[in-house]
Structure 1
């Protein structure tokens, strides 16, 4: 997906950041599984918002 709209770029960056945080959290034995689930929900919501953006 290529979209140069600043809002979409910001959403994509947030999605990437959450993805990295989830990966790191899953490697940590002290992380709360509910916290990981919440991060995954936010990541999915961002993905859906990105997909809903108008494509230029």
Structure 2
């Protein structure tokens, strides 16, 4: 896997997580810990993208 294709995949994962977080925040039944974990995953992915760029 090239760095460029890896970056594309990371950006896609980041976008999917963003959508999941937004959806979870709109749903009153979602656990705050789940939302926090998804946000941490997003941050890790964002840091990885920055490191590779």
Q: TM-score, normalised by structure 2?
A: 0.92
CA distance in 2, matches of 1:33, 1:9: 29
CA deviations on 1:30-50 (whole Å, 9 max, x unpaired) are 000000000000000000000
Deviations 1:3-56 (A, max 9, x none): x81000000000000000000000001000000000000000000000001x4x
1:42 and 1:5 mapped to 2: Cα distance? Answer: 20
Normalization by structure 1: what TM-score?
0.87
Gaps of 5+ in 2: none
**Which residue is 1:25 aligned to?**
24
Q: Where has structure 1 moved over 3 Å in runs of 4 or more? A: none
